[in-house]
């Protein structure tokens, strides 16, 4: 029996599955205790008139098994947009289904459709399987730029 694999933008009916996969990634990457996204956040910020992010969902036989959460930086040094892959996650049981590859292919098509000449993302330093997967699909580690972060005090602090 062949599995039917498809990728499409998420809609309201996908929100519970998208949130579950986002939580699965948060567990895998070790930040589940700080994970604060709700179904309503996905609706408000991803499905409104001016969405702040998009989600591609991969389905196998009509069941959502993977997500690619992304957003756009409208322009940078070359006056062209950059598509940022925020989260790519495929549930463990579907990792040999081709869902990850299909999500990457769909991201590339989306980037081309908006004139973005690049897709940027970060990978956990020790996640060698993810690095192999990304290399297989044309990704390379950035040898020039390093990711940095800075905490910003909230609520009138500092």
Residue 117 covered by a domain: yes
Q: Does the pLDDT of residue 156 top 90, yes or no?
A: no
Residue 5: which of 123, 100, 135 has the closest Cα? 100
Domain enclosing residue 56, as ranges: 5-136
In angstroms, the CA 113 to CA 89 distance is: 23
Residues 119, 84 contacting (CB under 8 angstroms): yes
Residue 143 covered by a domain: no
Q: Residue 56: CA atoms inside 13 Å, Cβ hemisphere, count?
A: 28
Dump pLDDT digits (tens) for 109-121: 999 999 999 999 9
Residue 152 covered by a domain: no
Q: Does the pLDDT of residue 158 top 80, yes or no?
A: no
Residue 120 covered by a domain: yes
Q: Does the pLDDT of residue 2 top 70, yes or no?
A: no
- Say which CATH number the domain at 128 has: 3.40.630.30
Residue 146 covered by a domain: no
Q: Residue 122's pLDDT is what?
A: 95
What domain count does the chain have?
Answer: 1
Dump pLDDT digits (tens) for 78-132: 999 999 999 999 999 999 899 999 999 999 999 999 999 999 999 999 999 999 9
- ∠ Cα 5 28 136 (to 5°): 50
Model pTM? 0.92
């Amino acid at each position: 029996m062949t599995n039917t694999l498809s990728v499409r933008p998420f809609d309201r009916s996908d929100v519970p599955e998208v949130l579950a996969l986002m939580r699965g990634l948060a567990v895998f990457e070790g930040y589940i205790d700080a994970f604060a996204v709700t179904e309503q956040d996905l609706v408000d910020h991803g499905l409104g008139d001016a969405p702040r992010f998009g989600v591609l969902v991969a389905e196998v036989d009509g069941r959502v098994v993977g997500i690619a959460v992304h957003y756009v930086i409208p322009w940078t040094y070359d006056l062209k947009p950059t598509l940022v892959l925020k989260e790519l996650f495929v549930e463990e049981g579907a990792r040999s289904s081709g869902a990850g590859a299909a999500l990457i292919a769909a991201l590339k098509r989306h980037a081309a459709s908006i004139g973005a000449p690049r897709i940027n993302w970060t990978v956990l330093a020790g996640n060698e399987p993810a690095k192999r997967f990304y290399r297989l699909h044309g990704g390379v580690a950035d040898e020039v730029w390093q990711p940095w972060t800075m905490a910003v005090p909230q609520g009138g602090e500092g």
